[in-house]
């Protein structure tokens, strides 16, 4: 009797939890790539030897790519030269499951490097979040301010990324200034910050020369659940399959218990 009861309980526990344990072994991260090197040519980018970006020009931004958690080798090639096997730059990227990252090729070509930003994907309902990344290699530290108003992000240095600022939805006239001055080096009129959205404003280009200083605005919807390649609806995958089988497991267990009791009644 005890042996049978234990088997039934174990079967029920596995049906309820076994699928989720298996699913957790396949965590993925979201990674997008930005070409922010002002004088670098168009590039191809590989992750672990697989081409994920082709012929990306300055200011190009990819969609988020789903990448297995762990360590990866990222290589940047001049466009069309992957087959030659001679990257301009190779670096390692470590990502965690259910997190999001923006990976940027930055600085001038002679000093090309990779910067990684950790992306926040959530904000309070009805609010917006915004941050600034300074990736103009010849620009001094900058302030980002409301035109004729308050400084929102003070003294951001080259390669610096500010913390997120959570704000009410609004349309603002913003400007980038040399830190500590009123001298605007870049205007961002009518910058719309919508509720339930996450914004990253990237200052790129050159303060003196071409391509001129410019901004890339990345806008992403806030979410409380990281998206996956296959939507987790509660009905698919191992977990969904095991949960859908639970009534049958219970029925079989009950029937087995009934016949076990009936058999013992005749002994």
Digit-coded pLDDT (tens) for 178-231: 999 999 999 999 999 999 999 999 999 999 999 999 999 999 999 864 444 434
What does residue 206 show for φ and ψ, rounded to 5 degrees?
-120, 135
Residue 164: closest CA among 120, 202, 100: 120
CB contact set of 264 (below 8 Å; sequence gap of 6+): none
**In-domain check, residue 78:** no
- Has residue 206 been placed in a domain? yes
Q: Are residues 161 and 210 both part of a single domain?
A: yes
In a domain, 7, yes or no: yes
8 Å CB contact between 96 and 29: yes
- Please give the pLDDT value at position 119: 98
In a domain, 70, yes or no: no
More confident call, 27 vs 1: 27
Q: Please report whether residue 83 resides in a domain.
A: no
> Are the C-beta atoms of 18 and 242 separated by less than 8 Å?
yes
Q: What is the pLDDT of residues 78-90, one digit of tens each?
A: 999 999 989 999 9
Q: In the numeric block, which tokens belong to residue 105?
A: 């090729």
Domain extent for 148: 120-229
Do 241 and 222 fall within a single domain?
Answer: no
Residues 160 and 184 in one domain: yes
Cα-based distances in Å from 35 to 39, 117, 135: 10, 14, 11
Sequence-separated (6 or more) residues with CB below 8 Å from residue 116: 93, 101, 102, 103, 104
Domain presence at residue 103: no
What is the pLDDT of the chain when averaged over all its residues? 82
Are 183 and 256 part of one and the same domain?
no
Number of compact structural domains in the chain: 2
């Amino acid at each position: 009797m005890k042996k049978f009861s234990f088997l039934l309980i174990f079967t029920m526990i596995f049906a309820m939890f076994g699928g989720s344990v298996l699913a957790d072994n396949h965590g993925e991260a979201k990674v997008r790539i930005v070409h922010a090197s002002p004088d670098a040519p168009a590039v191809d980018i590989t992750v672990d030897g697989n081409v994920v970006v082709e012929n990306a020009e300055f200011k190009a931004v990819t969609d988020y790519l789903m990448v297995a958690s762990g360590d990866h080798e990222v290589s940047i090639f001049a466009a069309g030269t992957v087959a030659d096997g001679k990257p301009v730059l190779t670096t390692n990227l470590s990502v965690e499951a259910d997190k999001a990252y923006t990976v940027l090729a930055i600085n001038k070509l002679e000093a090309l490097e990779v910067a990684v930003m950790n992306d926040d994907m959530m904000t309070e309902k009805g609010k917006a979040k915004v941050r600034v990344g300074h990736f103009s290699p010849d620009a001094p530290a900058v302030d980002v301010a409301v035109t004729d108003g308050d400084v929102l992000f003070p003294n951001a240095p080259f390669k610096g990324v500010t913390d997120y600022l959570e704000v009410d939805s609004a349309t603002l006239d913003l400007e980038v200034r040399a830190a500590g001055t009123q001298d605007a080096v870049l205007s961002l009129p009518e910058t719309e910050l919508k509720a339930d959205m996450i914004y990253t404003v990237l200052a790129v280009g050159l303060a003196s020369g071409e391509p001129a200083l410019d901004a890339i605005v990345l806008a992403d919807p806030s979410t409380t659940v990281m998206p996956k390649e296959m939507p987790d609806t509660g009905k698919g995958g191992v977990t969904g399959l095991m949960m859908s089988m639970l009534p049958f497991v219970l029925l079989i267990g009950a029937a087995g218990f009934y016949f076990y009791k009936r058999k013992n009644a005749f002994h």
